[in-house]
Structure 1
Amino acid sequence: MAVLPILLVVLYGLCLLFILGFSAGQWQLTRLALRAYKQGLPPAPPAPAAWPTVLVQLPLYNEQNVVERVIDACAALNYPTDRLHIQVLDDSNDATVALAAARVAHHVARGLRISHVRRSDRQGFKAGALRYGLEGNTDEYVAIFDADFVPEADFLKRVIPYFLPDAKIGVVQTRWGHLNENEDLLTRLQAFGLNAHFLIEQVGRTFAGFFINFNGTGGVWRRACIDDAGGWHTDTLTEDLDLSYRAQLRGWRFLYRPDIVAPAELPAVMDALKSQQFRWTKGAAETARKHLGQMWRSAQPLPVKLQATFHLLNSSVYIVIMLMALLSVPLVFVRAQYHEFKAVFQLASVFLLGFAPLIYYYYTAWRLAHPGKPLWRYPGFFLLFLSVSMGLALHNARAVILGWLGQRTPFVRTPKAGTGGPAKRRRYRTGGVGELVVLEGLLALYFAFGLAAGIYFDDFGLLPFHTLLTIGFAAICYYSVRDDK
């Protein structure tokens, strides 16, 4: 027998095993989260007699669509004004500067302590801005909100009390809400995925005492924790995940509260979503490269080490999905021509049950996020989400590989449209129809060919997979071209 068919089958089988392991990890987190909800969240501590000092940092770069909204929302925080300091960390080089200056001046005139902080360059990007803002500051706690967030007025008064009973709590992270979830299909799919992270993963990890991550925004740090962990580093695109692991390896505890929601805007165009996905997936790989060895050399319990490994390697699943997808088309011909593999393929079909925990994981999150929605709406939406996630595999796998190779890339922030229409969306383009989009279109045709080949050979084993891949890559290509206009 030829070596190539055997190699294809072996590699595809290894990919299935990886997916099974990934899916089992999500199943474990789902079970832990359900136990946490059944047990009930710890009650909120009482308000302190005297409120500690809080610094609110708003890192900005060219955000004229939303800059006034976030400044006004933070200026409306219901917290003692003599204990509150707001920093607008503005690295912009467009009209955002004037808009921010005007809103800061307005709130200064109202008696608020709010500063418009400007740097001579963008060294270190967001992490550099956060670090710069802390220089010379002595406030006890630091809240961070990205430009697309609109915190509720009582946010600080709900979060700060959780720090006070335990001096080792370094972060309180809250759940992200979605201001524009129902804007279109793209935003609904993003909300679907993010809800699983915030309603299942973060809850399950917190309940079990595993490491969790500060999500970059919508949370509060104890200043002593930031300093003890070495401050903000600029060597990864996920400075939040990096500092989270350094702090927890130093013994700090993180607390997550899904009942406190920080509303935010979801990217409504494909290039904005891709820039966000690139940062998250590449940054996670960079952080894994930086901390996995240290985690396994630490004195953390074995379950914590295993979950941390699963956590840090999450984004690497896109490499496996991409490899599995590319192998699946020639595998149609192997299935048709090499009947001696029939038993192997039957065994492989058992491993496809590895997707069952993912169905359970996302269904549980969907129920928690939308308790009133009828069950029949879930299957189709889940399959569409799975399809589009597969369609992002090429883009995200490339980001992960760059992260593992240690190749430095600039921090490209996710542009926000605010309440504006297409003109405001086009104001901050992060890319256009380039080579990657062309490749995504070609891959849609490649998987359509695999779909047709399966029908031709009367072999429908890979038909569902090729259907999802064809739709997913076609959708990503379509949205990329549509949003380029």
Structure 2
Amino acid sequence: MLMLTVLSYAAQAVFFLVVVCFILYVLLELRVLGISRRVERHKLTELVSQLPGMLALPVWPRVSVLLPIYNEAAVIVRLIDAVCRLQYPTSSLEILVLDDSTDNTSTLAQARIDYHADLGVSIRYVRRASNEGYKAGNLLNGIRQSSGEFYVIFDADFIPQEDFLLRTVPYFQDPQLGFLQTGIGYENRDASFLTRFQAMEMGHQQYVTVGLSEDGDMASLSGSSCVWRRACVESLGGWNASTVTEDVDLGYRAQFGNWKYAYMRDVVSMSVLPETTSAFRVQRKRWGRGLIHSAFKHARQMFRQRMPLMQRLHAIAMMFSSLLLASIYILLLLCLPLSYLVDFEGLGIHWVAWLFFGFVAIWGLNNVFAARKGAHIGEQRGILRTLWETYLYVAMFLPMAWYYFAGGMRALFGVHGDFHRTLKGGSKKSVIRPPVHKILWMGDGFSFGYSAITLWVAIQKANYFLIPISVTACLGFGMMLVGFWQEERSIK
């Protein structure tokens, strides 16, 4: 009996802790979104916003465009063509194709490089003996062979605007500006609900970054479509291969090193989202593992930094948001034992739960608003459709919580370096899945069944506060399972 009492209070304490952290996170995000709304037409940090409209320099600095690729046959030709169209003084620009491929991507890349080189473009093919260090190692090898004062990085599925360099490089007149992140759009955002969800999620992140940048708070770097000052990268020792989110890691180190950053939402490079549930699962597990690892890796340094209280709170919320998302999965797992361990008569935990659901609703509506703004989705929707899409949007975060939880557990057990690339679009090559995918989709099935049982128990015991999270979990995991079933049918 004593053991059950201890377990009951322990489960309630964990539930309460996660809810409190979530509420604090929502309040901080609402503050940032309020700032973003005030600067909706785009501003940079206070320093950079003092340099508007500068599109010409007396002397253009040398720029190295780095294209790290690995088995990207479907997109490599269009990437090289797009980068070779960049407008910039020819004498001050070099393009390096950093190829770690093991398939026919290398042949396609070499042929296209030769074509543009014959036209006078300064473009080179760079290949290593091995892909040690994955993308981080590839970039480190590339910068050793580059001559630019600035680095510009584009992943294989990106298409930059032709005036990308003319609009970004002039903002680096302040010597303390270490890096500049630009906006990202998605060509296939309307291919399915899954791609639309991803576009909105990324749009939300970009819209939040507007407020973080304006307020002088820490932000998380997307990596691609980014401009780096060479002196900044060299002072930090370059990209670190010990984490699979090497871009986030370098961004944290730059900000802790007192380098300034800027964000330009109105300069947009187009990218491609994964269209299959299998690619989405593996990508989010990798992100969760890398982001949680990076948060703990840099936590001590963050707390040692001298920051105003509000900036520190935003830094904590930003760095540990992935851990918070993973902990939502723990809430889901707690729902069933809570039904058996807790006598809800006269207790306040059900009020804590309803408070949690209320803040989820507030967060969801504001999240969707920010997502639509960030993703430049401008079409008008009716109230009922908006509410339904908001609910579906929120439901998708429960499968994501599972993927981040799985990634966090791998980080906890010291799995930091293995890299599973994300296959973009609807390529049938997506059937070649890493072993971890089986664990992830089986986890989807387990979570769906677990949530259904929890729902049944909640109804039987009249624990109505458990019903919303169980129904939402069934919907979210159900969508992922149906999507995987459709994916399997399409490749047979």
1:35 to 35, 38, 56: 38
Name the residue aligned to 1:122.
131
**CA distance change for structure 1 residues 351 and 185 in 2, over 3 Å: closer, same or farther?**
closer
What's the offset of the Cα at 1:431? 5.1
Determine the structure 1 residue equivalent to 2:286: 279
Aligned to 1:173: 181
| 8 Å CA contact 2:69, 2:98 repeated in 1 | yes
Q: What CA deviation, in whole Å up to 9, does each residue of 1:141-160 have, x standing for no partner?
A: 11000001011111111111
Could you tell me which amino acid in structure 2 is paired with residue 248 of structure 1?
A: Q
Deviations 1:24-49 (A, max 9, x none): 22212212212333796633324112
In the alignment, structure 1 segments of 5+ residues that lack a partner are none
1:270 alignment partner, one of 248, 264, 277: 277
CA contact (8 A) 2:353 2:465 kept: no
Give me the whole-angstrom Cα distance separating, in 1, the residues matched to 2:442 and 2:221. 35
Q: What does 1:65-104 align with in structure 2 at a 5 Å threshold?
A: 65-104=74-113
Match of 2:443 among 436, 439, 445: 439
Q: Deviations over 1:382-425 (max 9, x none)?
A: 211211210232221021132244333411111124xxx55454
Structure 1 vs Structure 2: percent identity of aligned residues? 32
The structural deviation recorded for 1:191 is 0.6
The secondary structure found in structure 1 opposite 2:64 is: strand
List structure 1 runs of 4+ shifted beyond 6 angstroms: none
The whole-number CA distance in structure 2 between the counterparts of 1:320 and 1:163 is 39
Partner Cα separation in structure 1 for residue 77 and residue 55 of structure 2: 33
1:141 aligns with 2:150: yes
- Provide the residue aligned with 1:9 in structure 2: 12
DSSP-derived class of the 1:172 partner: strand
User: Which digits, 9 at most, give the CA deviation of each residue in 1:366-389, with x for residues without a partner?
Assistant: 442323322423221121121121
User: Quick one: distance in 1 between partners of 2:42 and 2:429?
Assistant: 46
Structure 1 segment 323-334 matched on structure 2, within 5 A: 323-333=330-340
Inter-partner Cα distance in structure 2 for 1:344 and 1:246: 40
Corresponding letter in the other structure for 1:273: F
Pick from 222, 247, 252 the counterpart of residue 259 of structure 2. 252
The separation in 2 between residues aligned to 1:280 and 1:422, in whole angstroms, is: 21
1:473 partner amino acid: F
How much has 1:480 moved relative to structure 2?
3.3
Provide Cα deviations, 1:160-210, integer angstroms capped at 9, x if missing partner: 11112x1111111111101100111110010111100011x2111101101
Deviations 1:89-134 (A, max 9, x none): 0000111110111111111111111111100001111111111011
Is the 2:200–2:372 Cα contact (8 Å) retained in structure 1?
no
Unpaired segments ≥5 residues, structure 2: none
Which piece of structure 1 moves more, 244-253 or 32-41? 32-41
Give the stretch that moved more between structures: 3-12 or 152-161: 3-12
Q: Please say if 1:349 is aligned against 2:354.
A: yes
In 2, Cα distance between equivalents of 1:178 and 1:442: 32
Question: What does 1:253-402 align with in structure 2 at a 5 Å threshold?
Answer: 253-333=260-340, 338-368=343-373, 369-376=376-383, 377-402=385-410
Say whether the 8 Å CA contact 2:278–2:430 is kept in structure 1: no
Change in 2 beyond 3 A, CA 1:405/1:293 = farther
Distance 2:26 2:181 in 1: 25
* Secondary structure of 1:434 counterpart: helix
In 2: Cα distance, 1:259 partner to 1:277 partner: 26
Residue 58 of structure 1 deviates from its aligned partner by 0.6
Q: In structure 2, what residue type is equivalent to 1:219?
A: C
Which residue of 1 is the match for residue 226 of structure 2?
219
Q: How many residues align?
A: 477
Task: Go from structure 1 to structure 2 and tell me whether the alpha carbon gap of 1:331 and 1:226 turns closer, same or farther (over 3 Å shift).
Answer: same
**Aligned partners of 1:268, 1:323: CA distance in 2, in Å?**
28
Which residue is 1:205 aligned to? Answer: 212
- SS of residue paired to 1:462: helix
Do the aligned partners of residues 179 and 10 (structure 1) sit closer, same or farther apart at CA in structure 2, a change above 3 Å counting?
same
Change (3 A) 1:46 1:154: closer
User: In the alignment, is the contact (CA less than 8 A) between 1:62 and 1:95 conserved in 2?
Assistant: yes
Q: Mean Cα displacement is larger for which, 437-446 or 472-481?
A: 472-481
3-state DSSP class of the match of 1:56?
Answer: strand
SS of 1:163's equivalent in the other structure is: helix
CA distance 1:234–1:422, change in 2 (3 Å): closer
Following superposition, the deviation at residue 9 of structure 1 comes to 2.5
1:456 and 2:465 are equivalent in the alignment: no
TM-score normalized by the length of structure 2: 0.91
Pairing 1:466–2:475 present: no
Is the Cα–Cα contact under 8 Å of residues 335 and 466 in structure 2 kept in the other structure?
A: yes
Which of 56, 60, 63 is the matching residue for 1:51? 60
CA contact (8 A) 1:60 1:89 kept: yes
Whether contact under 8 Å (2:274, 2:280) holds in the other structure is yes
Task: Find the residue that maps to 1:444 and give its secondary structure.
Answer: helix
Counterpart of 2:305 in structure 1: which amino acid? S
Q: Tell me how large the CA RMSD over aligned residues is.
A: 2.1
